[in-house]
Amino acid sequence: MQKVIKHAAMDALKVGLLGLLLFGPMTGMLLDGYGIHYAPSRAFWLVGLLLLGRFMVVVVMNSPALSGVADLFKRKDRVEVVVSPMGQQHHKILVVLTLMVAMALPFLLSKYWLNVAILALIYILLGLGLNIVVGLAGLLDLGFVAFYAVGAYSYALGAEYLGLSFWQAIPFAALLAASFGAVLGFPVLRMHGDYLAIVTLGFGEIIRLVLNNWISLTGGPNGLRTPLPTLFGMEFTKRATQGGTPYHEVLGQWMEIDYSRAARYVFIYVTLLVVVTLLVYMVQRLKRMPIGRAWEALREDEIACRSLGINHVMVKLSAFSMGAMVGGVGGVFFAASQGFVNPASFTFFESALILAIVVLGGLGSVVGVIVAAVVLTVLPELLRDFTEYRVLIFGCAMVVMMVWRPRGLLRIHRPEFVVEKRVP
Amino acid sequence: MNSYVIGQQLVNGVVLGSIYGLIAVGYTMVYGIIGMINFAHGEIYMISAYLTAITLAVLTTWGVDSVFLALILTLISSIAFTALYGWTVERIAYRPLRRSTRLAPLISAIGMSLVLQNYVRLAQGSRNQGVPSLMEGNLRLVGENPEQFVQVTYVQLVIVLTALISMGILSWTIQKTALGRACRATQQDRVMAELLGVNTDRIISVVFVLGASMAAVAGVLVTVNYGSFDFHVGFVTGIKAFTAAVLGGIGSLPGAMLGGLILGLSESFFAGFVNSDYKDVFAFSILVLVLIFKPSGLLGRPAVEKV
């Protein structure tokens, strides 16, 4: 034990010295105009924390008495295959329960929290879309926000120039985003890994810069207003605008209903919930179908996959355009819930955030993506002071996750055939 | 479009290009040796800009008057601290992932870039920072007429000279020293180099340190030239430098310098004669086009797909 503590102390001292050099100038000396303002206590706090943390970690990892704790934090990167036919029953109950809670939410939440819930659902949608591309097909797409932007702007521009309504915009945006995905997919078919990531990143930035600079079409940084969504011609406004009727007048003929500003959000929330549920169902089915298996095979080993006769062109293109389509639909909902779009919503950070959702949820895991999206959107709202540190923590989480558990927190369930045990 | 304007854009392009070249060297060396894009490299450059401003401010309070001395001290301090960041990033985020899938180090690199960016934002605040201009004055190269001339400021001269000197030192280190030989050996065949007694982990650290030092030099030069920066500058500059590295052929040192020069010149001409609003779109389009049509770049070797 003495040896362990001595070793830990030496190690902590080394790390502390490094920390002092790294944090000293950056956090201890604040730029103030052209001058400087010393704040050594900040640097010392940081270094102290680092020293203490390192000391604790080394002690825990090396002392035999705490080996149980240490095992929990050991690196794990093998895939854990869990095959349990019994598990399916629990799943169904869980799914029904989740859906019931989700349906009840709009009647329980305030307007503010309803907005947060809508945002969480949008991120679930985007996470599921990117999960197809990154998690299942293993194609790292850093420009996913481009498709999100295409979706949002096709609603805004479609309404402005073509007079599209919300319901017409959804298939329009889905098709447009999917074709963008396919167009981008074609040239990048030959690339893998890093080059693909960079090309998609470049593509995302090009889209954002064009939206920002083409002022005559898109309004540039000022953005565009989007029309409010309608349901069977009913508008979610207090007074009718152009020839439409507000919902409370239509429904008021049959029942007692008053105008409420939250109604629009309830409508978006419920529609979004239906879309997300359908998508989850679809992805779960796709994973069992040949196409889904081809995606996963491509992720694991492209060359082996091609030698087995899988048409990698179709497989990659389908993953790309499916993901893009989902991103486009997410964009329409985003535009509808905000009532306004501008290029500032579609920066690289947004792509990184969606990627963080996929990575933290576990590449390829649907449940993981949903949990991660909810946690990453609701948590910062719960801890208001924490929003400053949000991105820093995302970044740390991405690094830690890759180093510690590259396959994600949740175990991947692979569809498998299980031979029933029969009594002879 | 007169010839004086062309000449001026040429000067501006060369200055811009030498800066892109300096940062591109970091991408190219890391890619050459471990085959990954160091996404956090742009952030390393951004950190160097902050360290430059901090050092200059400290030197002012110490009463250092000589511009030359200030510049040298700033370069030394910025290189030292920035290289430490480069080393730490490699140690924390990339070394544990040596034997992982290709996706893992890329994602941790993106994470690292977010961490660095926000660490600086939280430490120094998100507003625009600046340094006072060190050197005034310029040199007229062509033309005496007040309307028509090609000039190069002293700062621009210092930039090109410093870039040339640091590139020279780097090339000499890689080509002539034992350390450089070990680097080249590791780049060609890591396993074989290891069998022959090269400590490849150490060499990879050295490469990160060298790359970060070059980014540090670029950070000092840009900060001294433009005088203003914020925590966001690493992203776009990093991507452009990466474009330069790819354009020249990633993995090739002369390629990075050539790529930087070409990108700097073409961007400067595009901004001057076509449209300065779309100059970033232009740079990104070059990136996409090069990757699609000539992924091995101008001086690079085509990648061999191992079966």
Structural domain includes residue B51: yes
| pLDDT at res. A129 | 92
pLDDT tens digits for A110-156? 778 888 889 899 999 999 999 999 888 888 888 899 999 999 999 98
Asked if residue B280 belongs to a domain, the reply is: yes
**Chain A touched by B300 (CB under 8 Å):** no
Among A134-148, A254-268, B42-56, top mean pLDDT goes to: B42-56
**Domain CATH code at residue B237:** 1.10.3470
Report the residue of chain B nearest A347, measured CA to CA: B235
Q: Which of residues 35-64 of B touch A (CB under 8 A)?
A: 35-37, 47, 50-51, 53-55, 57-58, 60-61
Cβ atoms of residues A331 and A177 within 8 Å: yes
pLDDT at residue A169 in the model:
85
- pLDDT at A90 (0 to 100): 62
- B40 found inside a domain: yes
B284 in contact with A, Cβ within 8 Å: yes
- Domains of chain A, by residue range, sit at 1-71, 101-404
Distance from CA of A164 to the nearest CA of B (A): 29
Q: Which residue type occupies A401?
A: M
Q: How far is A27 from chain B (nearest CA, A)?
A: 5
Residue A410 has pLDDT above 60, yes or no: no
User: Cβ A75–B96 below 8 Å, yes or no?
Assistant: yes
Mean pLDDT of A167-191: 85
Q: What is the pLDDT of residues A56-71, one digit of tens each?
A: 888 888 777 777 777 7
**Nearest CA of chain B to the CA of A134: how many Å?**
9
Q: Do A206 and B112 touch (CB under 8 A)?
A: no
Chain B residues close to A191, C-beta within 8 Å:
291, 295
- What CATH number does domain A101-404 carry, 2.40.30, 1.10.3470, 2.60.34, 1.10.287? 1.10.3470
| Binary contact (B57, A35; C-beta < 8 A) | yes
DSSP 8-class letter at A388 = G
Give the chain A residue nearest B235 (alpha carbons).
A348
More confident residue, A31 or A171: A171
109-148 in chain B: CB under 8 A from chain A: 110-120, 122-125, 129-132
Could you tell me whether strands A340-341 and A245-246 are parallel, antiparallel, or unpaired per DSSP bridges? unpaired
Measured between CB atoms, which of B108, B124, B235 is closest to A348? B235
Is A91's pLDDT higher than 60?
yes
The residue of chain A with its CA nearest to that of B101 is A406
* A26 contact residues in B (CB cutoff 8 A): 47, 50-51, 54, 119-120, 123-124
Q: Do A398 and B108 touch (CB under 8 A)?
A: yes
Chain A residues whose beta carbon lies within 8 Å of the beta carbon of residue B53: 31
Counting the structural domains of chain B, the total is 1
Please check the confidence at residue A88 and state whether its pLDDT lies above 60: no
Collect all residues with Cβ–Cβ distance below 8 Å to A82 and sequence separation of at least 6. Answer: A411, A412, A413
Give chain B positions within 8 Å (CB) of A194: 35-37, 102, 106
Q: Out of B57, B84, B85, whose CB is closest to A36? A: B57
* Distance separating alpha carbons of residues B15 and B268, to the nearest angstrom: 10
Its domain, for residue B233, covers: 3-145+156-293
- Count chain A–chain B contacts defined by CB atoms under 8 A: 176
Please list every residue in chain A whose beta carbon sits closer than 8 Å to the beta carbon of residue B119: 26, 392
B54, B105, B116: residue with CB nearest A29: B54
What is residue A361's predicted lDDT score, i.e. its pLDDT?
81
Cα distance between residue A344 and residue A353, in whole Å: 15
CB contact under 8 A, B106 and A388: no
- Tell me the C-alpha distance between A259 and A248, whole Å: 6
Tell me: pLDDT of A85 over 50: no
Task: State whether residue B274 sits within 8 Å of chain A by CB.
Answer: no
Tell whether B102 lies on the interface with A, counting CB pairs under 8 A.
yes
Does the distance separating the beta carbons of B239 and A202 come in below 8 Å? yes
pLDDT of residue A245: 62
DSSP collapsed to 3 states, A241-263? CCCCEEHHHHHCCCCCCCCCCCH
Burial of A423 (0-12, 13-18, 19+ CB in 10 A): exposed
What residue spans of chain B are helical by DSSP H? Answer: 3-34, 41-62, 67-89, 103-124, 154-176, 178-188, 190-195, 200-226, 233-248, 253-269, 279-293
Which stretches does DSSP call E strand in A18-58?
29-32, 35-38
What ipTM did this prediction achieve?
Answer: 0.84
Cβ contact B57–A403 (<8 Å) = no
| Contact yes or no for B295 and A195 at CB 8 A | yes
Q: pLDDT tier at B213 (50, 70, 90 boundaries)? A: very high
> Which phi and psi angles does B151 have, rounded to 5°?
-125, 155
Q: Do B122 and A388 touch (CB under 8 A)?
A: yes
What's the half-sphere exposure (Cβ side, CA atoms, 13 Å) at A89?
Answer: 2
Residues in chain A within 8 Å Cβ distance of B295: 190-191, 195
Going by C-alpha positions, the residue among B17, B45, B223 that lies closest to residue B134 is: B223
Q: Are A334 and A173 in contact (CB under 8 A)?
A: no
Q: Which of A14, A18, A31, A140 to mutate to probe the B interface, most B CBs <10 Å?
A: A31
Predicted confidence (pLDDT) per residue in B118-160, tens digit: 999 988 888 888 888 777 777 777 766 666 777 888 888 888 9
Give residue-wise pLDDT tens across range B230-289.
Answer: 888 888 899 889 889 888 888 888 888 999 999 999 998 888 888 878 888 888 888 888
For position A324, what pLDDT does the model report? 92
Average pLDDT over residues B59-76: 86
Q: Report how far residue B105's alpha carbon sits from residue B120's, in angstroms, rounded to the nearest whole number.
A: 22
**What residues contact B79, with CB distance under 8 A and at least 6 apart?**
B213, B216, B217
Chain A residues inside the 8 Å CB shell of B107: 140, 355, 359, 398, 401-402
* pLDDT score, position B304: 56
pLDDT over 80 at A414, yes or no: no
Q: Which residues of A touch B92 (CB under 8 A)?
A: 399, 403
| Residue A140: partners with Cβ closer than 8 Å, 6 or more residues away | A134, A193, A194, A196, A197, A200, B103, B106, B107
CB contact, 8 Å: B280 with chain A?
A: yes
pLDDT mean across residues, chain B? 86
Q: What is the pLDDT of residue B146?
A: 64
Note whether B36 contacts A34, CB cutoff 8 Å.
no
pLDDT(A243) > 60: no
Nearest to A373 by CA among A280, A264, A274: A280
